[in-house]
Structure 1
Amino acid sequence: MLEGKKIILGVCGSIAAYKSATLVRLLVKAGAHVQVVMTPDATNFITPLTLSTLSKRPVYSEYFKPETGEWNNHVELGLWGDAMIIAPASANTMAKMASGLVDNLLTAVYLSAKCPVYFAPAMDLDMWKHEATQKNIVDLQGFGNVLIPPGSGELASGLHGEGRMAEPEEIVDFLSDDIKKKLPLYNQKILVTAGPTYEAIDPVRFIGNHSSGKMGFALADELASLGADVTLIAGPTAQVSKYQSIKRINITSAADMLQQCLEHFPAVNACVMCAAVADYTPATVSAQKIKKHDGGLNIELKKTTDILKTLGQQKREGQVLVGFALETNNEEQYAIEKLQKKNLDLIVLNSLNDAGAGFKNDTNKVTLIDRDLHKTTFELKNKTEVAHDICIKLIELLKK
């Protein structure tokens, strides 16, 4: 959920500021871009150099750069972020945030921020329990800020109780979960198939196709970025998912894919069948490598089970099933026939007659046709953009 996100990390004057180094490292490891803004007091607890080195960005703590007099633009900083986390959030800074007091760069950035703001308090037990602190927390939440609750344990004073800043790992998990909950496909389980299948002739040779898996992997990544819990069944391909949250199941043959689809389909809200599954497979597979002889070689083929049609027959009310049609002639006619015969909710049509479409390319040109025969045709686009277009339609179908 944090991949590519721009995170403003505010660090206040608190002994818990030492945890900010780990927090920056974890955010960067998760793929986020981190901009640290410190209060002047925070620099007494951890050096800007440490946080700058870990974030790979300059750290700001003053309105002006002393050596040049250049202004650190709090408005630009506030607009830059996709999210702002203030951790540790001291009682002093929370009081300033609650009252709108702006006497340092961090509080100025906070008042300028247009993104969601999270705050992770850190203070001693008596300060945490004080009525003024509790009122400030209520006020901050009333402004729409999100509290990351402190933990309980041994405090710097030697007391034991509430007030410990949440651990960096807990903050990252909290932020990821909260972002995910706000996404349009949160709590949606979606099955995606991608890539080719290889149908064995003997231990060495197989029948396959030219599918690279790029379109299916782009779809899985886009669905994950929109909050879905994605299971990806992938044929032999060199493609790699962007998101560790995607559950990948590697298969080889059409029979393998059928087995995995039947196992996972009942539990999902939607299924996007993007894989190029073989229509035929050898009737018998030689246990030994077939030796080359003079003359030709005849291989008897048998039909594979139509996975898409099988899932269409098993589809329950409310499930959304999406298929793909790669055609070379009478494209729209064949796509509509496939849509109706296999009980699909949406079919994605692409034609090998369109330059830049089809297998192996980084681009695709598609037409979306739903079960009401509403048709949307798109121009040639990068497969990542095509995946986004398909997902927007899928969200629409899931809401019906």
Structure 2
Amino acid sequence: MNVMVVGGGGREHAIAWKAACSGKVEKVYCAPGNGGTAAENKCENINIKPSDFAKLADFAKKNNIELTIVGPEDPLVEGIVDFFEARGLKVFGPCSEAAQIEASKAFAKDVMDKAGIPTAEYQRFTDYNEALAYVDKKGVPIVIKADGLAAGKGVTVAFERQEARGALKNILVDKIFGESGSSVVIEEYLNGEEASYLAFTDGNTILPLQSSQDHKPVFDGDKGPNTGGMGAYSPAPVVTQDIMDYVTENVANPLINELKQRGIIYKGIIYAGLMITDNGVKVLEFNCRFGDPETQPILYRMESDITDVISKCIEEKLDSVNIEWNEKPSVCVVISSGGYPKAYNKGCEITGIEDAETIENVKVFHAGTAEVNGKLVTSGGRVLGVTAKGDGLQNAIEKAYNAVEKIRFSNMHYRKDIGNKALGRMK
């Protein structure tokens, strides 16, 4: 079969690579892809934007695409699945209505409320002064979220009142996130350890993937502003099998059932950002797609054919599927452009990736790269996801960082503590 992957980041490179591993797949078209997908076996980049649904659908029909996998949240929220399905095309991801669980924090909170899903206490505001008064009443630490999509950068955990005031001003007054910041959700601060729960669903059956943990802040020790994610590892020791079972029964199932009661059938990936507290598991957020960078270490451990699992999701036959996993843990270290998530340079030549991949069980997934005049250069904030499997987590971490040290580009930055929380917990 021919497959199309919509998107051009690290998550999409991992999905395209995994699809290309299938013996059933002849060609994987990446729209638009990146410098990594351009060089990947069976893959070809096509110059169509993820937002151009008509061109994507025309390309799918002309090139006998039997399966389209949508990576990023924006096209899902804007209705790419609805558009493709109306044209009889097989596509993986939730419809636009279902994708509101990520597009609107307020919608997600309302769903959690009605479904009895454990989450933080919250209030929604559109007025800056009312929001500020609520922060004064509740005190800090407190969490402030832009209601809409903000590429993982719309959340501030404020430990000082001044920080909370600045976040509210940025969102509601200065409108740095545009319409995504027309309202804010203010939540109680939860103390604990974060982890990610991802599962396939066909609207009836839930099939969890392996657990993982993302690292959002840009600097070591979880310091600095939030990013799209600076690294991840799988599995996450904090997520025991009991917790996985609890989340499936008390989060994922109630979510799809509550949406069903609203006339919304959710097919695709459920992503629940969890906080594991002393008082149990709480849901921080829902996403409507594979996580990035969690997808990289998770899919690097997946032994089963991803196209089989996705096809069964679309056909509502997920109850007939089991996923086989490699038992070796995996770690992904994200290398970013210096300055990210704020201003950063593009166009810096990248070297050393081939050397990095000579290390056994290392795969470098590209996120913000492009090929220009025969050279691989940086084209985004998060540039590479250096991913390694190892005999134990410590070994996987060492392999990943050994590979990172072989890669060079101007002003590169990466965290040096990816996986340390897990090592501490295991000790």
Short-chain TM bin:
under 0.3
User: With structure 1 as the length reference, what TM-score do the two structures score?
Assistant: 0.27
Pick the structure with greater CA Rg. 1
Name whichever structure is richer in strand by fraction.
2
State TM-score, norm by structure 2.
0.25
